[in-house]
Structure 1
């Protein structure tokens, strides 16, 4: 299978049909807003007859809808309703928003709060300055890959060793031949985050965009990550380390305190 959203390994507690339906939904993204049956087969590795039945079921449930182009589909209003319930339940967004917006305006950076979903981080809050010369155009719902984004690296640094190793093993399989070119910088960033409390991504996720991320842990142990960054010629590695990393850690500490969480311990 070449799928990026292949259903997870079965266990006694999972329902394979539901897993396959979710794999179909997860195939849609900002880069792939409309998909046909053949593309869904390729992305999920699910046989075509099953994909056809899943799509029909999801359309009937309002999770998918026909796209303007014939024989193609897009996410439906049912997904939006679920997303609103999910986002509305995240009190941390309301706490984080004024801090992130203030930093965005003061420094001219884009700022984000994200949680993990599979092998990616999904942004649940995004703030940007009203004027910016160059910014990564990410918004709520945008995704960032774990190994090359600062958000993903910060997350990996903050989870316990067994979970981190499990995720890295999955990433190795997912990335295939390109893993050897991705892994060294990821491991360096994880080690740095555990030592310094922040990590960087320097043009590795979006070209010409540098960013810094800090992990924070919620009251129930859930790991999240904050991020800020912008055009590489303005936000150099030195500026990220000396100016933005300390400010982002201060914000992360304030948010963690407000929600009853904490930052990962430093050596």
Structure 2
């Protein structure tokens, strides 16, 4: 079985990593700096002051001010009139919606899904967070007469199964309790986790090993192996191999290694 030491490296969670890389040859420096400034905003660091951003990237304060003012003028940032601190603006969300509807993320990982299908013979699914659950963003069906079929666009409960665990394990505990602690969690099978404490215990193990395995938590006939996919240090999706319990369980070690490798490749494709 794979261990934390064996798994491929995950995306860095340190803000501003992109800002310390050199621009590509021929790149326009001012445009590159503007993009670096935007990529500095993360879930861990959702707002910046001018002086902070300048120090972080080693820029002149006047340069940082002009960059932030320009981005705010186009709606990519907003500036609090009292604190003078900047946050992401509406133009970012508009582009995010366009990207989601155009299928950008699934297109980036289709080669990964296809390779995992060839290596495992089982269905492979890319899931993205959706409120207190997750949504199938891309999938390929396994081979053979008995297989798991995932419906792209389908919504699934976040607490039932490895696909959801690999996503919500990387949410802050307070947010997990807010999402799953408000109402009683539905039991689908005898192995469904139905308390927040049980989820948090599973999440801790998943973060330690880098992957999760669920046996019949949503469908009692199904076993799933899932690993997190990151984008700029933030959880973006989970990559899952899923199929009939008897086959997936028998090949769990081999499938786990393939999923870990695939998740690392997907993280790189998403722009780690």
> TM class by shorter-chain length?
0.5 to 0.7
1:247-258 matched pairs, under 5 angstroms: 247-258=258-269
Structure 1 residues 166-209: Cα deviation after superposition (integer angstroms, max 9, x where no partner): 22323xx1427999962365344312211100111101111211
The answer to whether the aligner puts 1:190 opposite 2:203 as a matched pair is: yes
TM-score for both structures, normalised by structure 2: 0.57
SS in 2 for 1:225: strand
Distance 1:234 1:215, change over 3 A: same
The alpha-carbon deviation at position 228 of structure 1 amounts to 0.6
1:79-98 matched pairs, under 5 angstroms: 87-98=100-111
Give the superposed CA RMSD. Answer: 2.7
Distance 1:181 1:125, change over 3 A: closer
- Indicate which of 124, 128, 153 corresponds to 2:141: 128
SS in 2 for 1:234: helix
The answer to whether the aligner puts 1:260 opposite 2:271 as a matched pair is: yes
Distance 1:176 1:252, change over 3 A: closer
Higher relative contact order (CA 8 A, sep 6+): 2
Give the Cα–Cα distance (whole angstroms) in 1 for the partners of residues 251 and 139 of structure 2: 21
Structure 1 residues 11-67: Cα deviation after superposition (integer angstroms, max 9, x where no partner): xxxxxxxxxxxxxxxxxxxxxxxxxxxxxxxxxxxxxxxxxxxxxxxxxxxxxxxxx
How many pairs does the alignment contain? 173
Give the Cα–Cα distance (whole angstroms) in 2 for the partners of residues 192 and 212 of structure 1: 14
Give the Cα–Cα distance (whole angstroms) in 2 for the partners of residues 177 and 235 of structure 1: 23
Match of 2:181 in 1: 169
Match of 2:234 in 1: 221
Match of 1:148 in 2: 160
Conservation of the 8 A alpha-carbon contact between 2:228 and 2:235: no
The alpha-carbon deviation at position 85 of structure 1 amounts to 5.2
Conservation of the 8 A alpha-carbon contact between 2:193 and 2:217: no
TM-score for both structures, normalised by structure 1: 0.57
Gaps in structure 2 of 5+ consecutive residues? 1-96
Gaps in structure 1 of 5+ consecutive residues? 1-83, 262-267
The alpha-carbon deviation at position 162 of structure 1 amounts to 2.7
Give the Cα–Cα distance (whole angstroms) in 1 for the partners of residues 148 and 270 of structure 2: 28
Distance 1:203 1:133, change over 3 A: farther
Give the Cα–Cα distance (whole angstroms) in 2 for the partners of residues 86 and 169 of structure 1: 32
Distance 1:86 1:257, change over 3 A: closer
Give the Cα–Cα distance (whole angstroms) in 2 for the partners of residues 177 and 97 of structure 1: 33
Distance 1:98 1:198, change over 3 A: same
The alpha-carbon deviation at position 230 of structure 1 amounts to 0.8
Conservation of the 8 A alpha-carbon contact between 2:126 and 2:237: yes
Conservation of the 8 A alpha-carbon contact between 2:109 and 2:269: no
Structure 1 or 2, whichever has the larger Rg, is 2
Where is the helix percentage greater, Structure 1 or Structure 2? 1
The alpha-carbon deviation at position 220 of structure 1 amounts to 7.4
